[in-house]
Structure 1
Amino acid sequence: MVVTVAAVVSIATAAVANDGCARSDPAGAVAPAATWTRHGLEWVWSAPAPHIVDRCRVREQREAGCQEGDVRFGDTAAMRGALDDIDWPPNVRRMMSAAALSDVPEQAYALIDAALHSEGLDGTHRAILLNEKILTALQFRDTSAAKRVLEESGPPGDVPAALLSDRLFFRVLVAEDGATPRDWASVLDELLTEALQKDPSHFSVRVWRLLAWFKGRAARSEDSCPGAIRALSTRALDVSQASACPLLVGHVDHVIARRLESPGLAGSGPDASWRSFVTGLLAHVTRNRPVEAAALGDLARRARAGSCEELMIRELATLGETR
């Protein structure tokens, strides 16, 4: 005989729920129902199955809403405002402005090289200029030039961590073409993780860590469904930690769709269910209920008894307890 109760005795209503959120908060998540099983004259209490998605982070982000955070947008540390104010010689400013306006790669490179050879520059100045040259090559889709600058420039030395983060991220970008799922699951993922540690404000790195999970999924086929959901949801919440704004869902899905070459909200390829899960999770965080409902419906159409989609649906559906 099995009886399920939401809470009957104090043991079922511990001070901290299994999701780690304080129970004193009236808006906190409701713990899953406890299960009591009768064995003869004894009743045995079974702990509820733990949630996979971090309910605390979900609730915190929903409460924070679309507000200014520490995460900044920009292709380089200088653009993100992640560096202290740096004085530049006037001639360097002029050359870099001209390079930014040039639509001829060779001309832009020559201007940046001239700026690099200017007097009065220290290691930080040169690291910034080299990063700009790498970015310029990437913007011209000149991957070979970007790779060459990365190889020839060597380690940036004793410079601000945000500049090192840029350099690590650029290494991922130049390696994207031809990278295998194993590369994404190991070397490239490690580079992105290190880049995030160097500069947690780097929003692009957060998005690309999410993308790396998709790119490397085939190399992690042995992962359990709960483990995969936990890893993916953690990375998705790392992205939404930037700012739980409504535009976030569309932006992130656009990046994933473009890089995976599968258009549409979720597509129909092998990553479709996982993309729907991410879309539903981010939609919940940003309080976009129509998109959240659409993602759940998309998963429901694919779900089979005992499938991973069923577990995704359970996790997303029970996020309503954190509203």
Structure 2
Amino acid sequence: MIGMRKRSAVWSHFIEVNDKKARCRYCQINISFKCGSHGNLQRHMKAKHPFISIEHQQCEERQLEKESAQEQGQKATQAMRELSQPEPAQRTSEQHTVAEQPTISHYVDKPSTGRKAKQIDKQLVQMIAKGHHALRIVEEPEMKRLIQMVSHCPNYQLPCRKTVSEKILPQIYEELLAKAKRKVSESTAVCLTTDGWTSRINEHFIAVTAHLIDKNTNLCSILICCKQFSERHTSENLCNFLKEVMTEWQISHKIAAVVSDNAPNIINAVRLGEWKSIGCFAHLLNLIVQHGVAEISDVLHKVKAIVEFFQPKPTRTSKTYGCTKTTEFISPEAETRCFNPLECDI
């Protein structure tokens, strides 16, 4: 009767004193029980120790007993092999078999069946088609990682849109913001790049990005500000805006340089703040290209006309390669010879 009585999980928290009483392992109080019933023991655990799981201890003990049984089985197998004295090659094979016992990963990561895989592939295509997603989504590393994590958590349920926008996103934002501020605070010098643009609804925004070298000597770029700027774009207002951003991130004493375009207002704003101003090389190169294109505008117009001539009707393209069986040209003379774009007066 004692063996059957101890099958209950509650006995992992009590020590049997005699046939009628058991002592609690935590408060050392003797609790009476009758005829194998352990209702008093369960009530004692719920009333006096509500934060202790009754099943947890038993699971641990069962795990220990299982590990002990496996260890004893391995020892017995090893002893039998030594008594039988097998050949060296056979002994090596048997030892290799005992060492490679299956683990939980053998069952979790086993490949899916062909039918199930086809159903998942079909659902993937439906998601891409109905959601207007790009085909490259199946090659994105974060998407692959998401699928791998979900495959190990079959009971996972996707949150609703409201939960994502009001709970999950703010939590992740706060975590990333704290991480970014910690990385900026650990740096000794910071360079800023700033630029502004106007949206389609005529709202102006200004972005500020911090560039620094972290403690592992890696170059990092962190977007520290992207706000709507409704004030006038004067040098004083832009300078005050940059000072507010620096004060918020506590980097006013770490600014090595500020990179911007060649607009006079932002250059004067950097000078008012007494920071080192560096012109954006990409913006300067763009200006040079625009001035160079203006010098060859006549050539560009002729090249554009040639492209527009061939683009609407593919039959004209075939004429370039010697095809004379076409009537798409305007003049009859054009049908007797191949059109050569190089003959145009450029």
TM over 0.5: no
Q: What is the TM-score when the length of structure 2 is the normalising length?
A: 0.18
Q: What is the TM-score when the length of structure 1 is the normalising length?
A: 0.19
Higher relative contact order (CA 8 A, sep 6+): 1
Q: Greater share of strand residues, 1 or 2?
A: 2
Larger radius of gyration: 2
